[in-house]
Amino acid sequence: MKYKRKEGFAALLFILPSVLGIAVFYVVPYIICFVKSLFIGNTFVGLNNYFELFTNKTFLLALKNTGIFTVIAIPLLMIVSFLIALFLNSFKSISGFFRSSLLIPVVVPIASLVSVWQLLFDDYGAINGLLNNLGLDTVGFFNSGFSMVMIILIYVWKYCGFCVVLFTAGLAGVPQHLYESARLDGASSFKMVTKVTIPMITPTTFFVFLMEIIYSFKIFREVFAIFGDYPDENVYFLQNFINNNYYNLNYPRLSAASIVLSLFIVILLLVFYLFERKHSFTQ
């Protein structure tokens, strides 16, 4: 008993640095951020900053764009990467090569990535050159309604390889006897995927979803590199709003927007977590 208590104490000591690190660099700043969001200058205004935020048309625009991006890009990336993983799982001899190839965009530096996309899709880029040669008008891929499509494409292209690797690992963990039983019961390939594969890889799907949420916020780097501080209205995200308010030195609004953004992520993850708990068949 004494030995166990001693061991517990040592374990606590080992955890303490991490706890302190998280507290100092995440928890405390988060609390400070929340407190700042309740003030304007040195005056306590309660939730006024939040009410103002939800009447600010630029914030609503950013929220709408972030919502559209999340709702479209994340499921799209999950579906595309899952299908590729399924495909590669069926052709194990070539899957190694393709998996490695798909990972290249993840490691390509942002500047190179942006240059390539601009060379292709800019007003004077290769695609518009081709369209002009065919007698068609220039399409403003980066400065029109297409901007969002372009950002979704970049996101899917960049992170697809990583998700494929995760899904492939998940697929490898599905017991083969489940497929054999399903096959004996006369299940079609589609039924096997929907009734066996998908339920069995729910933890992997959850993890992929988590990673995609994280990556969806990292896409701001690409948006920033292509469009700068003030992008086209279609691709003005919450991160732009927060970043610009930092440079505009509007900290009450910045803090309120950050808290809203974090709640947005937490609610999203909570919903998925509850869904995963309810529908996971791995147990």
Partner 1 sequence: MKRKILALFLTSVMALCPLLSGCNAIGMNQSDKLTFYCVGDGSDELFEFLKKYNKYCAVNDCFEDSVEFISFDSYNEMNSALATELMAGGGPDILSLTQTYPFEKLVRNNALADIDEIVSTYNADVNFDDFNEKVMNSGVVDGKRCILPLYYRLNALYTTEEKLAKFGLDRENFSFDTILQAYENGSVNSYFVNPYSAEAFYFSFIRRYIDFYEGTADFESDEFKDYAEKFRQAVLKGGTYKELHSNEPDIPENEFEPEDDSGYIFSANEDNYYGGSLASFAQDYLIAMEYGQQPPVLVPDFNRKGEITASIEVGFAINANCKKMDKAAKLIEYLLSDSSQGYFGGGRDDSNSMGLSIPVKNSVYDNAVKEALAYEKHFWGFEFNRDNVELKNKALTEMYIPMLESISSCNLYGYNSQLKSHLYQNVIGEVIVDYLDGKITTNKLSQRLTSAVTIYMSE
Interface with partner 1 (CB under 8 A): 10, 13-14, 16-17, 20-21, 24, 29, 36, 40-43, 56-59, 61, 123-124, 140, 143, 228-233, 236, 241, 244-253
Q: Which helix (H) or strand (E) holds 257?
A: helix 251-279
Q: What is the DSSP letter of 228?
A: -
Nearer to partner 1 by Cβ, of 87 and 246: the residue is: 246
- Closest CB 240 distance from partner 1, rounded Å: 8
Nearer to partner 1 (CB atom), residue 38 or residue 85: 38
Tell the smallest beta-carbon distance from residue 145 to partner 1 (Å): 12
Distance CA 215, CA 250 (A): 27
Tokens (6 digits) for 12: 């606590």
Which residue, 14 or 190, has its beta carbon nearer to partner 1?
A: 14
Helices (H) and strands (E) in the chain, counts: 15, 2
The interaxial angle of helices 110-121 and 220-227, nearest 10 deg, is: 50
CB of 254 to partner 1, least distance (A): 8
Choose among 158, 156, 152, 160: nearest CA to 237. Answer: 152
Q: How far is the CB of 5 from partner 1 (least distance, A)?
A: 14
For the chain, the 3-state helix, strand and coil shares in percent, each to the nearest 5, are: 80, 0, 20
Closer by beta carbon to partner 1, 61 or else 213: 61
AA letter at 239: Q
What are the φ and ψ backbone dihedral angles of 40, each rounded to 5 degrees? -125, 115
Would you say 89 or 143 has its CB closer to partner 1? 143
**Closest separation in Å from C-beta 40 to partner 1:** 5
